[in-house]
Amino acid sequence: MMVPADHPAIIMPPPILWLLAVGVGALLQWLIPWRVTGIGWQGIGLVLVAVAFFLSVWALWSLRQAKTPVDPLKTPRAIVTFGPYRYSRNPIYVALIFSLPGIGFLTGWLWIAILAVPFWAILQWGVVRPEEVFLRQKFGNEYERYCARTRRWV
């Protein structure tokens, strides 16, 4: 008999995926420089980084209030439906995605900004989908009701 996992079967923790995206972007920038410059781009970058930071803090605070771990490799204790989780089922991942173009525009390294798209795709298929399967198995109808009223992204 197979023992069910106590956490989703994700490809790797999202912060590691994020670091890889930043690293690949920096490597591409070094190999094939592609810059974006100007105070307007830096302003957009600053806004995106600020939004990502505040969204992350709000989401982490909400998880802490619910006494459930942020680490997707630990067993979730609850479905969090308040704070930014009222608007998105994945606010921390949204913040990570926003941070990539933010950092790219702030630094002028366009490759980091562009890598937000493949980062999103890898998150979608390698992290979010397995998490959803796990949460449906663990929380059943409670999770289904949450999905029915809350978008996956934004």
Instruction: Write out the chain's pLDDT in tens, 154 residues.
Output: 343 578 899 999 999 999 999 999 999 999 999 999 999 999 999 999 999 999 999 999 999 999 999 999 999 999 999 999 999 999 999 999 999 999 999 999 999 999 999 999 999 999 999 999 999 999 999 999 999 999 999 9
Residue 134 in any domain: the answer is: yes
Domain hosting residue 121, numbered range: 39-149
Residue 4 in any domain: the answer is: no
- Residue 21 half-sphere exposure toward CB, CA atoms < 13 A: 28
User: Which residues are within 8 A (CB) of 11 and not within 5 positions of it... i.e. 6 or more apart?
Assistant: 17, 122, 126, 127, 130
Neighbours of 122 (CB within 10 A): 18
**Residue 4: its pLDDT value, please?**
54
Residue 68 in any domain: the answer is: yes
Residue 31 in any domain: the answer is: no
Number of separate domains in the chain: 1
Residue 75 in any domain: the answer is: yes
**Residue 113: its pLDDT value, please?**
97
pTM: 0.93
**Residue 1: its pLDDT value, please?**
37
